[in-house]
Structure formats: C-alpha cells, structure tokens
C-alpha cells in the first residue's frame, strides 16, 4: 500500500508543479491546492500506515501497553488542511480581484495591462 500512495504523491506533486507553471491564474490556484494535498499525503505516508489502536493511554497507566498509532502526522495534516484552506480562500479572492481589475486571467495579458510609462525595475543590485 505504501508504494501506491508514494506513486499517488508523485502524481499529485507532478500535476501541482505542472499547473503552477501554466499562465492561467485559476490553473495556478488549482496547482497550489493539488501540491498542498500531495504534501499532506506525503506526511501521512511518512508516518507509516498501520492498523494499530488509537493513540490514547488507558486510565491508570503511564504509557501504553502495546503499539499505538503515531498522532504527530495526523496533527500536522489537520493543521496543514486548515492553513491550506485559508490560503486557497485568500488566493481565490486575490485572483478574482485581479481578474476584475485587469480583465485578464492570462499572465501574459496582465503584463500587457501595465502602464506604458511605468518605471523599469532595477536590472542589477
């Protein structure tokens, strides 16, 4: 099962990078989401997939009396899901506002929407 999930992580990361390199804002946004899901799945797979009991110590014991599941990857993934959703919401509103302002979804078209007399960026530092 680990090999299947490793292949799925590779597909998610490859698809996320491919979408991030496109010119459309919506594709870039979907690339960020898919890449984040791939990283979440990577953390989940790295925490070992086993059928063990929940990470709860029974009352009266200082430590569990057998193998338990690792709660750290689960906590990291839950935190990453919340942060990923907040980032997706922010980027979605930012992309929508950019589309309203520039009337363009393509980054090449957005570059053409810049003012003609705008100052040039520094060529070196």
Tens of pLDDT along the chain (125 residues) come to: 788 999 999 999 999 999 999 999 999 999 999 999 999 999 888 877 767 677 778 788 888 777 777 788 888 999 999 999 999 999 999 999 989 988 888 888 887 666 677 777 788 77
Whole-prediction pTM: 0.77
The reply to whether 58 falls in a domain is no
The reply to whether 118 falls in a domain is no
Degrees (nearest 5) of the Cα angle 65, 68, 70? 140
pLDDT of residue 114: 64
pLDDT of residue 105: 87
pLDDT of residue 52: 67
Rounded distance, CA 96 to CA 54, Å?
43
CB 34 within 8 A of CB 15: yes
Range(s) of the domain holding residue 108? 2-51+69-112
The reply to whether 43 falls in a domain is yes
The reply to whether 60 falls in a domain is no
The reply to whether 104 falls in a domain is yes
Phi-psi label, residue 90: left if phi above 0, alpha if psi -120 to 50, beta otherwise: alpha
pLDDT of residue 123: 80
CATH code of the domain containing 7: 1.10.287.3510
- Per the structure, how many domains does the chain have? 1
Give CB contacts under 8 A, 24+ apart, made by 15-23. Answer: 23/106, 23/107, 23/108
The reply to whether 84 falls in a domain is yes
The reply to whether 122 falls in a domain is no
Closest to 75 measured CA to CA, from 55, 101, 92: 55
């Amino acid at each position: 099962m680990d090999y299947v999930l490793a292949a799925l992580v590779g597909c998610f990361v490859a698809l996320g990078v491919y979408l991030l390199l496109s010119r459309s804002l919506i594709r870039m946004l979907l690339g960020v989401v898919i890449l984040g899901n791939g990283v979440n799945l990577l953390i989940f797979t790295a925490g070992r997939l086993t059928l063990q009991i929940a990470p709860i110590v029974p009352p009266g014991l200082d430590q569990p009396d057998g193998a338990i599941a690792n709660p750290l990857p689960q906590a990291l993934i839950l935190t990453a899901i919340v942060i990923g959703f907040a980032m997706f919401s922010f980027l979605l509103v930012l992309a929508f506002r950019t589309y309203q302002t520039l009337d363009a979804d393509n980054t090449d078209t957005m570059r053409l929407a810049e003012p003609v007399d705008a100052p040039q960026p520094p060529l070196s530092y």
